[in-house]
Structure 1
C-alpha cells in the first residue's frame, strides 16, 4: 500500500463523490487532509471522518483560493499535495449554450484550479517537492456532444497540467490529470435526472450511454486509488500525464 505518512493535502470538491473518496484514501495512507468545498455541512462531516480540516471555499473566488492554501500551510505547516477536484457540468445544445453557463463552467473547472495551483506552487518550490493532481475526465481526451463548455474547460485543465509539468520537472514537482469516465457520484445522478427529464427515457435507458465498456459506472474509490499513487513516492516518475480510469472507454 502507498504511504503518505508525514504529507499534507488539500482536496477540493471534497464533500462527496470523488473528492470524499480521495480525502479518505489519503487520510488512511497517513496524510493530514484539508477538505474544501462550498457546503460547510458536507466538508465538516468528511473532515471528521478523516480527522482533517474543513475549509469552506468557492473555487471561483481568487482571494478565497489564496487564503485556503495559506490556511492549510498555517494549520499543517506545509502543503505537499493539491487535488483539484471541484467541478460543474451542464448539458446544452451548442446554439443554446448561454454565456453565463459557459463562463460559470470555465470559472469552476479551469480558473479555480489555476488560482489554487498558482497559490500552492511557491511553497512546493521552496521545499523542492510537491504533487498537483487534477480530476479532468475523459472529456479532456476526446469530444462529446452537448457539453462544449465542460469539454473546453477539461481540455484546458489538461493543457495547464502539462505546461506546468514541463516548467517544473527539474524542481521536484509533478502535475498530472486523472481522467475518469462517468463515476457513480451525485453529479452523475443529477446528469441522469436531466436526461430523463429532457428525453422522457426511463432511468435504465438513460444510464446505458454513461456506462464504461465494462458495463458499469466507475467507482469513486478507483479514482482515489490512482490519485494515491500519483501523490506517493512511488508516483514521482509520473509527470505531465493523463491517466484514464474509464474501463477502456478511451484507449490512449
Structure 2
C-alpha cells in the first residue's frame, strides 16, 4: 500500500499531528495540501516538506468553518492537481470548562471547528471523489470519541459526532468507492495538549504532575504519551488501504487507555 502521486488534503497541517501526517505522506511520494488557518505557516511547512521529498506539497489558506473559504481551497487543489484522493480532517482546538461554566460562544466554536469543519470539507471533496470512483476520508477523532472526561463537554460531544458522520459517509460513499474512517488518539504531547496541563490543574485543583500522571496517562498500560508518528502511521493505513473492506471504522491509538 502506498500513496505515490495521490493528492491528499490535510487540514490543520502546519503543526502538530497534521504536520506529522503530511510528513508521512510526503515520504511515501504523495502530493500533499497543507490547509491551515495561517497561510504563512502553511507555506513554510509546504516548502520544508517539498524539500524533503520525494512527494511535494502546496499551501492553502483555510478556515474550515467558512464554507466559501473551504470551497475556494478545494477549487485551488483541483486547479493545481486535478483530483483529490484523500481528505484528513484534522483541524481542531481544545477549550476546557466545567459544564455549568462553559460559555455558549466557546461551545459553538468547538463544535463548529470539529464538526462543521469535517462536514464542509467532506461536502466539498465528495463530488471529485465520486467522479473518480475512489477516495478516503479520515477524521481526527480521539479517545474522547469513546470516553468522557471532566471539563471537556464540547470536545467529547464533537468527537463522538465524528463517528456518526464517518459512518454515514461510508454508507453513502460505498457505491462510489469512497471510504471514511476515524483515528482516535490518546494524549499526544502537542502544544494543544501541553496547554491543557496547567488549565486542568487549575480547574481540578491538582498539580500539573497529577494531571499528566493521573488524568492523561493514568489509564494507559505504560504511562506513555501517544506520539505523532504513531498517529501518522494509522493515517497512512487508512489513506492507502485499497478496498471498502476498511470503512466506517474507528481505530484507537492510546497505549491501551481505551480498549474495545
TM-score relative to the length of structure 2: 0.92
1:87-144 CA distances to partner (integer Å, 9 max, x unpaired)?
Answer: 1111111111111011000110000110000000000000000000000111111222
- Equivalent-residue separation in structure 1 for 2:77 and 2:119 (angstroms): 17
* Cross-structure match for 1:222: 230
Q: Report the more deviating stretch, 176-185 or 212-221.
A: 212-221
Report SS of the residue matched to 1:165: helix
Structure 1 stretches of 4+ with a deviation exceeding 2 A read 195-206, 233-237
Q: How many residues align structurally?
A: 251
* Cross-structure match for 2:256: 248
> Aligned-pair distance for 1:235?
6.3
Q: Report the more deviating stretch, 208-217 or 119-128.
A: 208-217
* Cross-structure match for 1:54: 59
Computed over aligned residues only, the root mean square deviation of the Cα atoms, in angstroms, reads 1.4
> Aligned-pair distance for 1:233?
3.6
- Equivalent-residue separation in structure 1 for 2:228 and 2:178 (angstroms): 25
- Equivalent-residue separation in structure 2 for 1:79 and 1:167 (angstroms): 18
- Equivalent-residue separation in structure 2 for 1:234 and 1:127 (angstroms): 14
1:135-176 CA distances to partner (integer Å, 9 max, x unpaired)?
Answer: 011111122221111111111111000111011112201000
1:204-244 CA distances to partner (integer Å, 9 max, x unpaired)?
Answer: 22211212332111101100100001111456521000110
- Equivalent-residue separation in structure 2 for 1:153 and 1:206 (angstroms): 22
Report SS of the residue matched to 2:34: strand
Report SS of the residue matched to 2:221: coil
**Superposition pairs of residues 26-175 of structure 1, within 5 angstroms:** 26-51=25-50, 52-175=57-180
- Provide closer, same or farther for how the CA distance between residues 217 and 168 of structure 1 changes in structure 2, counting only shifts above 3 A: same
* Cross-structure match for 2:54: none
* Cross-structure match for 1:19: 18
- Provide closer, same or farther for how the CA distance between residues 234 and 172 of structure 1 changes in structure 2, counting only shifts above 3 A: closer
1:23-70 CA distances to partner (integer Å, 9 max, x unpaired)?
Answer: 010011110001011122321221112221111111111111111111
Q: Report the more deviating stretch, 197-206 or 42-51.
A: 197-206
- Equivalent-residue separation in structure 1 for 2:94 and 2:132 (angstroms): 35
The answer to whether the Cα contact below 8 Å between 1:230 and 1:236 also exists between their aligned partners in 2 is: no
TM-score relative to the length of structure 1: 0.95
- Equivalent-residue separation in structure 1 for 2:211 and 2:145 (angstroms): 23
- Provide closer, same or farther for how the CA distance between residues 16 and 232 of structure 1 changes in structure 2, counting only shifts above 3 A: same
The answer to whether the Cα contact below 8 Å between 2:97 and 2:203 also exists between their aligned partners in 1 is: no
* Cross-structure match for 2:53: none
Which blocks of at least 5 consecutive residues in structure 1 are unaligned?
none
- Equivalent-residue separation in structure 2 for 1:124 and 1:50 (angstroms): 25
> Aligned-pair distance for 1:200?
6.0
